[in-house]
């Protein structure tokens, strides 16, 4: 077996084993996940991802290992942005607490399948038409700019989404949740429940986010191994991260700007790759990307926390008149 094949095999075993444990012990049907359980699950997924980083370093060397870590952190930060939209979907369809975990799990597993297809097609296209990377670069610049300048009023409305209208047009849908079922009979006629709609929306919305994140990871590394593993590890930890952060996610109001800075940086890097390669070796580029991701995301979160605390201070205190 080649080194890449060994790494893929270990990755597959780790992910399948973790999913079996998750499905068997941590994701029982009709149960509510507490903050404590979510913290444990998030810790486990993060430790698995970081452990795989060490394994990658041993097997593939420093460069690929840091590319993987940069890609993982990039995907992980973007997944926090996913949570904003996921909360809106669950609230819009009034999903019961005990059904949220299962809906998230199924939606995420479907999303992984679509991401694998999307990555495979994307890598194949770039391998055949290298100029596509420049299109990705322009797209990331545009997306980063739109994200940085987006106002809070531009909220996603699940009931007005094209995906929801498409489902309503072609499928018999009821507003009933079916007590956790995806289909139920009403008047003898089979109907798809609101929970089915939620799962489809979760998978579809993640695929929309992947249109940003996968080109961004390609701007960090063109290794299929890095792109697959960083994407899948990040998205598998999304469910527990949802339960951990959903109560505090509105506190990160400037996170979007941090993510936008990263997307713009990677877009510039993709467009100027020829000139960057003349003044900077690949290892330095990978480390620079990692530093930009860490500082942008951490800085935006810390600034959000500081900004919120300033807003909550008494007016007299802020005016230094106490």
95-150 pLDDT, tens digit each: 888 888 888 888 888 888 888 998 898 888 888 888 888 888 898 898 888 888 87
Strands (DSSP E) contained in 107-263 are: 183-186, 189-192
Token pair listed for 301: 């979160």
What average pLDDT does this structure show over 29-54? 83
pTM > 0.85: yes or no: no
Dihedral of alpha carbons 147, 150, 152, 154, sign: negative
Q: Based on the structure, what is the number of domains in the chain?
A: 1
Would 315 be classed as within a structural domain? no
User: What is the C-alpha to C-alpha distance for residues 182 and 99, in angstroms, rounded to an integer?
Assistant: 11
The confidence score (pLDDT) of residue 252 equals 74
The confidence score (pLDDT) of residue 313 equals 61
Measure the CA angle with vertex 242, ends 297 and 49; round to 5°: 65
Instruction: Map tokens 């939620």 to a residue.
Output: 198
Contact 35, 244 (CB under 8 A): yes
Measure the CA angle with vertex 198, ends 121 and 77; round to 5°: 55
Would 320 be classed as within a structural domain? no
What average pLDDT does this structure show over 260-274? 87
Domain interval for residue 80: 3-309
pLDDT band of 260, cuts 50, 70, 90: confident
Would 317 be classed as within a structural domain? no
Q: Residue 29: pLDDT above 70?
A: no
User: What is the C-alpha to C-alpha distance for residues 282 and 299, in angstroms, rounded to an integer?
Assistant: 25
pLDDT band of 151, cuts 50, 70, 90: low
Mean per-residue pLDDT of the chain: 83
Measure the CA angle with vertex 178, ends 177 and 183; round to 5°: 110
Measure the CA angle with vertex 223, ends 228 and 84; round to 5°: 40
Would 316 be classed as within a structural domain? no
pLDDT in tens, 102-113: 888 888 888 888
Token pair listed for 33: 């996940």
Q: What percent of the chain has pLDDT over 90?
A: 11
User: What is the C-alpha to C-alpha distance for residues 81 and 75, in angstroms, rounded to an integer?
Assistant: 10
Contacts 24+ apart (CB under 8 A), 58-66: 59/3, 59/6, 59/7, 60/3, 60/4, 60/7, 60/225, 62/283, 63/282, 63/283, 63/286, 64/221, 64/223, 64/225, 64/226, 66/283, 66/286, 66/287, 66/290
Nearest to 235 by CA among 109, 84, 50: 109
Would 158 be classed as within a structural domain? yes
The confidence score (pLDDT) of residue 4 equals 85
Measure the CA angle with vertex 149, ends 144 and 152; round to 5°: 120
pLDDT in tens, 205-243: 888 888 878 888 888 888 899 999 999 998 888 888 888
Would 142 be classed as within a structural domain? yes
Tell me if residue 149 falls in helix, strand or coil: helix
DSSP H/E element including 113: helix 97-128
DSSP letters along 165-206, please?
Answer: HHHHHHS-B-S--GGG-SEEEETTEEEE-HHHHHHHHHHHHH
Tell me if residue 315 falls in helix, strand or coil: helix
Q: Residue 52: pLDDT above 90?
A: yes
Q: What percent of the chain has pLDDT over 70?
A: 90
Question: Mean pLDDT lowest for which of 30-39, 59-68, 172-181?
Answer: 30-39
């Amino acid at each position: 077996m080649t080194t890449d094949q060994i790494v893929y095999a270990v990755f597959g075993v780790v992910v399948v084993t973790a999913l079996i444990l998750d499905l068997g012990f941590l994701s029982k049907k009709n149960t509510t996940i507490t903050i404590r359980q979510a913290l444990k699950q998030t810790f486990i997924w993060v430790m698995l991802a970081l452990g795989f980083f060490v394994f990658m370093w041993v097997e593939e060397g420093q460069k690929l290992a840091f590319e993987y870590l940069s890609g993982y952190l990039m995907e992980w930060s973007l997944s926090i942005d996913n949570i904003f939209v996921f909360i809106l979907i669950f609230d819009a369809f009034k999903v019961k607490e005990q059904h949220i975990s299962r809906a998230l799990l199924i939606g995420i597993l479907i999303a992984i399948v679509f991401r694998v297809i999307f990555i495979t097609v994307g890598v194949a296209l770039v391998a055949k038409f290298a100029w596509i990377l420049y299109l990705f670069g322009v797209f990331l610049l545009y997306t980063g700019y739109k994200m940085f300048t987006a106002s809070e009023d531009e909220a996603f409305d699940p009931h007005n989404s094209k995906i929801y209208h498409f489902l309503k047009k072609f499928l018999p849908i009821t507003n009933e949740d079916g007590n956790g079922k995806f289909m139920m009979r009403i008047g003898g006629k089979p109907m798809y429940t609101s929970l089915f709609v939620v799962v489809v929306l979760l998978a579809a919305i993640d695929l929309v986010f992947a249109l940003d994140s996968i080109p961004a990871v390609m701007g960090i590394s063109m290794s299929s191994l890095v792109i697959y593993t960083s994407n899948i590890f990040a998205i598998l930890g999304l469910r527990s991260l949802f339960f951990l952060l959903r109560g505090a996610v509105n506190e990160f109001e400037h996170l979007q700007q941090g993510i936008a800075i990263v997307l713009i940086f990677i877009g510039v890097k993709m467009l100027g790759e020829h000139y960057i390669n003349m003044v900077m070796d690949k290892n330095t580029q990978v480390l620079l990307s990692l530093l930009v991701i860490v500082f942008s995301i951490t800085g935006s979160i810390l600034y959000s926390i500081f900004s919120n605390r300033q807003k909550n201070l008494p007016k007299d205190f802020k005016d230094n008149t106490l």
